[in-house]
Structure 1
């Protein structure tokens, strides 16, 4: 099947007010099936189409899948939404963390998911219409009836079978729906956080819901069959209504095209992908947040002759993914290195990325030039800092 050449792009400057008067009868539909399973490539392709394509006379549905990954919304906090430090170890190749350009919540994906992204002009965007197309596709092919929740998710028996995200621009818009077909729920639970305490942030948080795989309800449902069913339903459905146009309307469309998102076919794609997979985008775009944790001092230290009392407390402020302020309260007598009260040595963490790597400089400051923390009390202090930075 032919690939789509970037030379077909129309100049947005030529659109003008013509978009407001174009008749829907002239609009042709195309189904792209991405051959990539890399989350950053697929998100870059989504963004490339949004920035460069003219959807005045052509609408596009992109169907795509991903290797194991967690996708967070544009303004979310990855340390709150996911088990960041565990992601590299959940599968043999790890779980990638990606930040979308669109809003919405966090969700885990693997190749047991089907993503359907509907591209239109801004004024033709209709999320409910898109979801109804998917509902009809599943009912027509598998006899399974889904419902639409108030938050525009597809549901079955009070469980979610999909999540949605969307982006609206001056000219173009897209609406993404991710369906759970046969996702690995064990890995999903390992990747996503269930509860967070001690974190203060204005970043939008995801609402945790029960996820149902479509194959649990109907074992005949599989990823390959669902890709085909949604694609054909999309092409047989008119732009401005849900009236079934049948095979006649489907045959008038531009059909299915297998697409390999590469720089050769979509100039500028690599630059978008490079940004989307960068640390500064995935983590550095996180809104400012503050973490406060309290740690009871172990009995083995409180029972000593010097009578240590009170909790060790840590407060960190993180901006753009980097530690900007730290307060560490160490009870009198806990540290043999002389730390007590508000410890200034913790300033060694400032301006470091909010990762375990920052602990190296802190431990060096805690014990001087000796790289080994030989004292149990200092080890306890260091471990408390580590827990703050790895289990937000």
Structure 2
């Protein structure tokens, strides 16, 4: 089925796609496939959120298909410094890798143009994650003969490797389940973007579970993202709304078909403000749950009056993405050897964003120091910030 581009005034658009009743009957539920024309992660997250906020999907289910330029997408309750290689993202790929926080839970995923992203919108009562995954598995088997499995965690797997990441948002009256399908993703960039060393972070934030992954094209080189728009969308339209039963061409032709969606303000009033929110620092970093970082540093022999080696320790507390406290432990040998205890200088980053802004203030403070011991401890604080 060809992708047909249609334009709507928003009043007509909402009226056309928002009719609902309190107790839907399967035969009365219509389906649409929305194809986003944007490749920007913040715009697509805004479109997803706009639809979730403004549509009633009770009698009209929607599958939104979308792609993004390279980006790392963390869950609503995650820590970006724990999940992504934040300090190196701009150096990965020709245009760098953006960091985004979505409005749903779950773990961290990497997107590029080798992924197909799918958002299944329904009314809250019709939400069914397994139904959605069954559609994807049926589509890939029907077109390519690929036999994907649905794991106990409701991820799609191939040869015991993950080929999808998944998350959901359940509200009233609407809900959505979204997942990303690894088709021809750049796994080198993925690894670099998500590669993290243990930085000593303690937090209650949701932590991702690492899994072995595989691209679908490794199993079938003929498979690409552009063809999957048609393959998955067509399978969605030909499947009954509430049960995984194939209605074939007869059912598909009764649906509302494919719609090319342009996520701009003229189509979706208020979407620009949503996009600004998703790409803003406060949402991406400021929403991070409170965490602490503790690191120990060996004091150089020339700063001690003792033959017994000892360590200094720095504990930094970060709330709402900003440094709220810095606790220092000075070993007796360092303190007894004339350390000035100039905590005000060392804690100058307090109240500033973690970590570029705080590093700037720290670098400025270092320039006012004279004591070698003061500079050593200050350098320890700098290393704590640079370690994540």
Q: Same fold (TM over 0.5)?
A: yes
Q: Is this contact kept in 2: 1:327–1:343, CA < 8 A?
A: no
Q: Is this contact kept in 2: 1:4–1:259, CA < 8 A?
A: no
Q: 1:92 maps to what in 2?
A: 94
Q: Is this contact kept in 2: 1:332–1:340, CA < 8 A?
A: no
Q: Is this contact kept in 1: 2:37–2:262, CA < 8 A?
A: yes
Q: 2:380 maps to what in 1?
A: 384
Q: 1:134 maps to what in 2?
A: 136
- Please give the alpha-carbon distance, in whole angstroms, between the structure 2 residues aligned to 1:360 and 1:329: 23
SS in 2 for 1:29: strand
The CA deviation string for residues 309-350 of structure 1, in whole angstroms up to 9 with x for no partner, is: 411211011000000010123446769x96456834322111
- Please give the alpha-carbon distance, in whole angstroms, between the structure 2 residues aligned to 1:325 and 1:247: 63
Displacement of 1:93 in angstroms is: 1.4
Aligned with 2:14 (options 9, 13, 33): 9
Question: Are positions 1:319 and 2:319 aligned together?
Answer: yes
Q: 1:282 maps to what in 2?
A: 284
The within-5 A match list for 1:220-259 is 220-259=222-261
RMSD of aligned C-alpha atoms?
A: 2.5
The CA deviation string for residues 277-307 of structure 1, in whole angstroms up to 9 with x for no partner, is: 110000000011111111223xxx3157844
| Cα gap change, 1:340 to 1:375, in 2 (>3 Å) | closer
| Cα gap change, 1:303 to 1:243, in 2 (>3 Å) | same
- Please give the alpha-carbon distance, in whole angstroms, between the structure 1 residues aligned to 2:353 and 2:303: 37
SS in 2 for 1:115: strand
The CA deviation string for residues 339-378 of structure 1, in whole angstroms up to 9 with x for no partner, is: 456834322111011113212322333441x7xxx88766
The CA deviation string for residues 12-59 of structure 1, in whole angstroms up to 9 with x for no partner, is: 9x98xx743222211111111111000000000000000001212211
The CA deviation string for residues 94-119 of structure 1, in whole angstroms up to 9 with x for no partner, is: 11100000111001110000001000
| Cα gap change, 1:243 to 1:176, in 2 (>3 Å) | same
- Please give the alpha-carbon distance, in whole angstroms, between the structure 1 residues aligned to 2:92 and 2:118: 26
Unaligned runs of 5+ in 1: none
TM value normalised by structure 2: 0.92
Displacement of 1:92 in angstroms is: 2.0
Displacement of 1:263 in angstroms is: 0.5
Unaligned runs of 5+ in 2: none
- Please give the alpha-carbon distance, in whole angstroms, between the structure 2 residues aligned to 1:329 and 1:343: 11
Question: Are positions 1:37 and 2:33 aligned together?
Answer: no
Deviates most, 135-144 or 343-352:
343-352
Q: Is this contact kept in 1: 2:303–2:373, CA < 8 A?
A: no
SS in 2 for 1:20: coil
Q: Is this contact kept in 1: 2:72–2:99, CA < 8 A?
A: yes
| Matched pairs, number | 382
- Please give the alpha-carbon distance, in whole angstroms, between the structure 2 residues aligned to 1:53 and 1:105: 26
Q: Is this contact kept in 2: 1:69–1:110, CA < 8 A?
A: yes
SS in 1 for 2:310: coil
TM value normalised by structure 1: 0.91
Q: 1:358 maps to what in 2?
A: 358
The CA deviation string for residues 56-82 of structure 1, in whole angstroms up to 9 with x for no partner, is: 221110000000000000010001111
Displacement of 1:381 in angstroms is: 3.7
The within-5 A match list for 1:326-365 is 326-331=326-331, 339=339, 343-365=343-365
Displacement of 1:194 in angstroms is: 4.3
Aligned with 1:105 (options 96, 104, 107): 107
Q: Is this contact kept in 2: 1:115–1:177, CA < 8 A?
A: yes
Question: Are positions 1:74 and 2:72 aligned together?
Answer: no
- Please give the alpha-carbon distance, in whole angstroms, between the structure 2 residues aligned to 1:28 and 1:359: 54
- Please give the alpha-carbon distance, in whole angstroms, between the structure 1 residues aligned to 2:324 and 2:129: 40
Aligned with 1:213 (options 202, 212, 215): 215
